[in-house]
Structure 1
């Protein structure tokens, strides 16, 4: 009898935990829809490295960009940025002194190329993003 009560209690606790997880999942998904990224503090434009500020200025003036890949569609496969249709985001290289090739730093902007809705900086090749605030 005691074993049956313990099993029922375990099932009840498990059901409550699973129910809470399913209830919170939509809230987490909608958090990514907002302009603020969960867990990532925005970064002021003035606090970007010099090369980042230079890339940002080039984005707003429409180029010319130093790399062929600059301005190409960013797919947001990591789903770390707010969700939008494919083609919404474009990526731009932020030069890394001493790096061979393009390095790991990028700015990703969403919206119209010269007047983006929002831009995000990543210093770790898309592992994390911070919204750029002017």
Structure 2
């Protein structure tokens, strides 16, 4: 009887731990100081704040946040901008995502792995 109770408690503990770690991981966005970004990302951030001009046609399009790696917002809240990747033949994997009004929101996220992970840019 005591063994059964211990096993139930242990399973409950494991389930709670697992759920807590999943919730934490979803909202676990790192931070990167703006001055520690690659120079190309710092340049893109300046362009965003000045409203352009942007070197890539898709810069400024709505970012869907389909994987919910950024805080949940209604569609159209986030916009994406390409960060030039040296030696890349296409747009490369690096982006800055801006929340709200891109020029003035102060809410910017950097990814260097094509949306797999994000770090909030701290200015």
TM-score normalised according to structure 2 size:
0.84
Other structure's SS at 1:131 match: strand
C-alpha distance in structure 1 between counterparts of 2:119 and 2:10, whole Å: 38
Let me know the Cα RMSD of the aligned residues: 2.4
Cα 1:18–1:50 shift into 2, 3 Å:
closer
Q: Is the 8 A contact 2:78 2:99 kept in 1?
A: yes
Does 2:63 align with 1:74? yes
C-alpha distance in structure 2 between counterparts of 1:107 and 1:96, whole Å: 12
Aligned to 2:94: 105
Aligned to 2:121: 132
Does 2:20 align with 1:28? no
Per-residue Cα deviation, 1:1-56 (whole angstroms, up to 9, x for no partner): xxx5534432343244435555x379638x83xxxxx262x111111111111110
Aligned to 1:43: 32
Q: Which runs of 5+ in 2 are unaligned?
A: none
Match of 2:15 among 13, 18, 26: 18
Q: Is the 8 A contact 2:32 2:120 kept in 1?
A: yes
Does 2:83 align with 1:94? yes
**Residue correspondences, number:** 123
Q: Which runs of 5+ in 1 are unaligned?
A: 33-37
Structure showing greater Rg: 1
TM-score normalised according to structure 1 size:
0.78
